[in-house]
C-alpha cells in the first residue's frame, strides 16, 4: 500500500495549482460578488485537459483514473470551490456522454466538451424529486424517430449558460420507478426549452442555477444514452464519481482555509505576541490538519475503489462524500473563527470558502442519504468484514 503520489500525479497537481493561482485566484472574489460565470477561465482549464479528465479518449478526454482527477480538483478548489465544482459537474456529464452516447453523438459533442469549448449540465433533480430521484416525472416518449420530452428540472448548475444537457426522463409507465428512467443528450437551445430565473444563492455564485422546463422538446432517437430503462443506473454511476468530486472540492476548500489560517496565526499579534504562540489555538490548528488529512485519504481511498471497480465502491464513495464534506466545512469554519472579525469580511477569502463549501453537504445526494446508502450495506451479513 503506497500513499505517495507518482511523479506524473504530482505534475498534474502542480499544473492545477499554477492554473488556479494564475487564472482563478485573481478573479474568484469578483465572480462571487457579481455572479459572473467565467466561461473564458473554464475554457482555459479545458485547454489543459481539465474539462475531460476522466472522459474516454474516444470522446477527446484524458481517461485518467478518478484518483488523478481528485488531485486536479483539490488544487483548484483551494482557491475557488464554486468554479471548480462546476468543472467537476461538467466532467461528470461529459464522462456520461462519452461512455454511453452513440458514435455520432459522441463524435460531435465529445471534443467540444472535453476541450471546454462547449459546456454541459447534469439534469436529474426535479421540483418534486430530490432525494427520491427515482420518482422523477419528466417524460420522454418515442414518437417515430424522435423523443418528445415534457417536464421540469430544478437546481440545475449552469442552466441557461451551458450548451448541452444530460437529462434523466421517464420512458416507462408512471410509477415504474428506477427501471423506467432513461438518459438523454439534449441540446440546451432546443425549441421548447425554457429557463427560469437565476437563483439567488448563499454560495456557488460563479455558476448560475436555474429551473428548466421542457414543452414538447424533440430530440433525435439516437440521443438516447445506453438503452431505454438504463438511465437511473447511468445516473447513479455518474454520481459515484460526482460524490468523490464534491468531496474533493470540500478538501480543497479546507486546504485553502487551513493555509490562510496558519499564515494569519503567524502574522496576527494580540497581547504582545503572535496568536500562533497560544496553545489553545495551536491545538485548534492541529485538529483542523488532522481532520483534513483524514478526509483527503478517505476521498482517495474511495477514488481508488471506483477505479478498481470494487464491489463496494458506491459505499466508499458515499462514506467519502459524507465525511469529507462535513469535515471540510468544519475546517473552513474553524479557520474563519481563527481570523476573528476579519474572517467575516469579504477582504479575506474565508467567508466565501465557507459559503461555497456549505452546499457540498446537500448536493450529489444529501449527507443524510449518504448515511442511508452506507447503512443499507452495513446491514448485510458480510459488511463488517468487507467494509474495513
Active site residues: 364
Q: How far is CA 269 from CA 257, 266, 284, 297, in A?
A: 19, 8, 17, 34
Strand-pairing partners, residue 143, are 146
* Residues whose CB falls within 8 Å of the CB of residue 284, separated by 6 or more in sequence, listed in order: 334, 337, 338
Nearest to 350 by CA among 340, 359, 360: 340
Q: Which of 159, 141, 30, 182 is nearest to 89 (CA)?
A: 159
Amino acid at each position: 500500500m503506497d500513499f505517495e503520489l507518482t511523479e506524473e500525479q504530482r505534475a498534474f497537481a502542480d499544473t492545477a495549482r499554477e492554473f488556479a493561482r494564475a487564472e482563478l485566484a485573481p478573479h474568484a472574489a469578483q465572480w462571487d460578488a457579481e455572479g459572473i460565470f467565467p466561461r473564458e477561465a473554464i475554457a482555459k482549464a479545458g485547454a489543459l485537459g481539465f474539462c475531460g479528465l476522466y472522459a474516454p479518449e474516444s470522446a477527446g478526454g484524458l481517461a485518467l483514473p478518478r484518483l488523478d482527477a481528485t488531485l486536479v480538483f483539490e488544487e483548484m478548489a483551494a482557491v475557488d470551490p464554486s468554479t471548480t465544482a462546476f468543472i467537476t459537474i461538467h466532467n461528470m456529464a461529459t464522462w456520461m456522454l462519452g461512455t454511453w452516447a452513440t458514435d455520432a453523438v459522441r463524435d460531435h459533442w465529445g471534443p467540444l466538451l472535453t476541450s471546454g469549448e462547449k459546456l454541459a449540465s447534469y439534469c436529474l433533480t426535479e421540483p418534486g424529486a430530490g432525494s427520491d430521484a427515482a420518482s422523477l416525472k419528466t417524460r420522454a416518449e418515442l414518437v417515430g424517430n424522435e423523443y418528445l420530452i415534457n417536464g421540469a428540472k430544478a437546481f440545475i448548475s449552469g442552466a441557461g449558460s451551458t450548451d448541452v444537457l444530460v437529462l434523466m426522463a421517464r420512458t416507462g409507465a408512471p410509477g415504474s420507478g428506477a427501471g423506467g428512467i432513461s438518459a438523454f443528450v439534449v441540446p440546451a437551445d432546443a425549441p421548447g426549452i425554457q429557463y427560469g430565473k437565476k437563483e439567488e444563492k448563499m454560495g456557488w455564485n460563479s455558476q448560475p442555477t436555474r429551473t428548466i422546463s421542457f414543452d414538447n422538446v424533440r430530440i433525435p432517437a439516437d440521443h438516447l444514452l445506453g438503452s431505454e430503462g438504463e438511465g437511473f443506473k447511468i445516473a447513479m454511476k455518474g454520481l459515484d464519481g460526482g460524490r468523490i468530486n464534491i468531496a474533493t472540492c470540500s478538501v480543497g476548500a479546507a486546504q485553502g482555509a487551513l493555509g490562510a489560517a496558519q499564515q494569519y496565526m503567524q502574522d496576527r499579534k494580540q497581547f504582545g505576541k503572535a496568536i500562533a504562540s497560544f496553545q489553545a489555538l495551536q491545538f485548534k490548528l492541529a485538529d483542523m490538519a488532522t481532520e483534513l488529512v483524514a478526509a483527503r485519504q478517505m476521498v482517495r481511498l474511495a477514488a481508488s475503489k471506483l477505479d478498481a471497480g470494487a464491489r463496494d465502491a458506491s459505499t466508499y464513495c458515499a462514506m467519502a462524500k459524507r465525511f469529507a464534506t462535513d469535515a471540510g466545512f468544519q475546517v473552513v469554519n474553524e479557520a474563519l473563527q481563527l481570523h476573528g472579525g476579519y474572517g467575516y469580511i469579504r477582504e479575506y477569502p474565508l467567508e466565501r470558502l465557507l459559503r461555497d463549501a456549505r452546499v457540498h453537504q446537500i448536493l450529489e445526494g444529501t449527507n443524510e442519504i449518504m448515511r442511508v446508502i452506507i447503512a443499507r450495506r452495513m446491514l448485510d451479513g458480510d459488511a463488517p468484514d468487507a467494509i474495513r
